[in-house]
A and B are shown apart, each in its own frame.
Chain A
Amino acid sequence: MNTQHPEPPALFTYTLRLGDDALVSAQRMGGWIAAGPQLEEDVALGNIGLDLLGQARALLTYAGDVEGAGRGEDALAYLRDERDFLNAQLFELDNGDFGFTIARLLVASSYQWELYSRLQSSADETLAAIAAKAVKEVAYHRDHATQWTLRLGDGTDESHGRMQRGLDDLWPYVDEVFESDDLVARLAADGLAVDPATLREPASSYVEKVLAEATLEVPETNVRHTGGRRGIHTERMGYLLAEMQYLARAHPGATW
């Protein structure tokens, strides 16, 4: 489709990026239910997923309001195609083993904690209110990931190896989370958004402190995958959306 679309409002695009990060993360967390190492961990990851889903709902609802085209949270979550999703690729990768999931949760929640801490003082009242609620939730996600990173990293040879492999596999996708562009820089200058580039230092320093205590190495890599914020995704994204959107698309407008 090459029809000319007017440029969507910058605030819509920014809110959608945050909302898609949360939505896709929630979907991934849901994948652990009934597959966790213990029932208790199923519940913990499920709770984290529900927190993220709540954040996604608030953000997508607000994005729809900003857009003003009559799209609500459901339309944005279930009726967009892959190229219209603006989450960073890190969030869409398969869960992998428990080590990879914890590695991703540690990085993602460290990023989100720094983000929402600052977004609380956004000049946009709605974003500020969403951030004020979310920051308490992601503080717990970060704590959960930290506790597990310490135990797996400083645990057995097997757990240490898997945790390190999880970090190594994740690292090429970490950089994108902290990428800035003109759109977010402009919104940040107006006091509405938080420039992700400013979060790199505080988030990395938290993660590196945890990894050091867990006797894990900060991976080194020259590979940096990017594109999610422009709708370019990995192969895994199509499968994720197929599962997430199937029901809503097979039965349009269905309600409980």
Chain B
Amino acid sequence: MSAPRGEWPLWEVFVRAKRGLNHVHVGSLHAPDAPMALRNARDLYTRRQEGVSIWVIPADEITASSPDEKDAFFEPAGDKIYRHPTFYEVPEGVEHL
């Protein structure tokens, strides 16, 4: 890891609030290694019983989309409203939709 000397590397923390839900990114922290990152995450992000499961991932292992490519990445989807399921009439009597 390319952390400066004396600094612990950065980890991204994902917490699952309850069974059946996804892990959601909640923030980041510093820790010397993965087991300690997990423990620090427990102390920092689940103090009020926010979760039942934690993932920690080294921040520099994440490949992120670039803000500069935002237009090319996301705009083409902007005028394709037919991708939204709003053109269908919901038949009468369908529950749980």
* A residues in contact (CB < 8 Å) with B: 38-41, 43-44, 47, 143-144, 147, 151
Do most interface residues of chain A lie in helix, strand or loop, or is the interface mixed? helix
CB closest chain-B residue, reference A42: B43
Nearest CB of chain A from residue B92's CB, rounded to whole Å: 53
* B residues in contact (CB < 8 Å) with A: 8, 29-33, 35-36, 39-40, 43-44, 47
**In the complex, are the beta carbons of B30 and A40 less than 8 A apart?**
yes
Give bound CA distance, A41 to B8, whole Å: 11
**In the complex, are the beta carbons of A43 and B35 less than 8 A apart?**
no
A-B Cβ contacts below 8 A, count: 27
**In the complex, are the beta carbons of A143 and B39 less than 8 A apart?**
yes
**In the complex, are the beta carbons of A147 and B40 less than 8 A apart?**
no
Q: Which residues of A contact B44 (CB under 8 A)?
A: 40, 43
Nearest CB of chain B from residue A205's CB, rounded to whole Å: 23
Give bound CA distance, A43 to B30, whole Å: 12
Q: Which residues of B contact A143 (CB under 8 A)?
A: 39
Q: Which residues of B contact A41 (CB under 8 A)?
A: 40
Nearest CB of chain A from residue B33's CB, rounded to whole Å: 8
Give bound CA distance, A47 to B40, whole Å: 11
CB closest chain-A residue, reference B41: A40
**In the complex, are the beta carbons of B35 and A40 less than 8 A apart?**
no
**In the complex, are the beta carbons of A40 and B29 less than 8 A apart?**
yes
Give bound CA distance, A40 to B35, whole Å: 13
Q: Which residues of B contact A47 (CB under 8 A)?
A: 43, 47
The 6 listed contacts between A and B (C-beta, < 8 Å) are: A38-B30, A43-B43, A44-B39, A144-B39, A151-B32, A151-B36
CB closest chain-B residue, reference A43: B43
What 9 A-B pairs are tightest by C-beta distance, nearest first?
A40-B40, A44-B43, A43-B43, A47-B43, A40-B29, A38-B30, A40-B30, A43-B44, A38-B8
Q: Which residues of B contact A39 (CB under 8 A)?
A: 30
**In the complex, are the beta carbons of B40 and A43 less than 8 A apart?**
yes
CB closest chain-A residue, reference B42: A140
CB closest chain-B residue, reference A155: B32
Q: Which residues of B contact A40 (CB under 8 A)?
A: 8, 29-31, 40, 43-44
Give bound CA distance, A41 to B31, whole Å: 9
Which of B8, B29, B36, B47 has the most chain A CB atoms closer than 10 A to its own CB? B36
Nearest CB of chain B from residue A85's CB, rounded to whole Å: 29
Q: Which residues of B contact A147 (CB under 8 A)?
A: 35-36, 39
Nearest CB of chain A from residue B66's CB, rounded to whole Å: 29
Give bound CA distance, A44 to B35, whole Å: 14
Q: Which residues of A contact B36 (CB under 8 A)?
A: 147, 151
CB closest chain-B residue, reference A150: B35
Nearest CB of chain B from residue A153's CB, rounded to whole Å: 14
Given A38-B8, A38-B30, A147-B35, are A44 and B47 neighbors across the interface (CB < 8 Å)? no
CB closest chain-A residue, reference B37: A40
Give bound CA distance, A40 to B40, whole Å: 6
Q: Which residues of A contact B29 (CB under 8 A)?
A: 40
